[in-house]
């Protein structure tokens, strides 16, 4: 049995077959396609230090059409990291509030965080 390396803590030690099975089981029935960054995390977002306004995006190596939750899932995962002194769960809550909580599907964000384990 081949165990995967570099997985998120909650999936540490999972074999390939388990990851594939979980992806198949949780795949959303339909997609809400938009243009996505592909790796939308705080390190890839440029903000004006004085205004906090978005000035650009970097590391755009995986752009394309995807469900909007593909980018949301990665942003939310990275914002939730408590080991980063700038972020934590409170940042995810604020991000979701500003984005529109009614537009965020927790099942889809979980699926796209799981899918990102493959990259």
| Residues annotated as part of the active site | 39
* Residue given tokens 């995807």 in the structure block: 66
State how far the Cα of 119 lies from the Cα of 117, in Å rounded to an integer. 6
Phi, psi (5° rounding) for residue 11? -120, 10
Structure tokens given for 63:
């752009």
Nearest to 109 by CA among 72, 84, 59: 72
State how far the Cα of 45 lies from the Cα of 70, in Å rounded to an integer. 16
First to last CA, the chain: 20
């Amino acid at each position: 049995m081949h165990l995967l390396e570099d997985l998120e803590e909650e999936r540490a030690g999972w074999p390939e077959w388990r990851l594939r099975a979980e992806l198949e089981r949780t795949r959303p029935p339909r997609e809400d396609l938009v243009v996505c960054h592909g790796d939308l995390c705080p390190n890839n977002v440029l903000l004006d230090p004085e205004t906090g306004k978005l000035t650009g995006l970097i590391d755009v190596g995986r752009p394309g059409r995807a469900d909007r939750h593909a980018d949301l899932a990665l942003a939310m995962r990275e914002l939730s990291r408590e080991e980063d002194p700038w972020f934590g769960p409170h940042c995810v809550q604020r991000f979701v509030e500003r984005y529109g909580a009614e537009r965020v599907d927790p099942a889809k964000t979980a699926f796209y965080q799981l899918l990102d384990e493959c990259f």
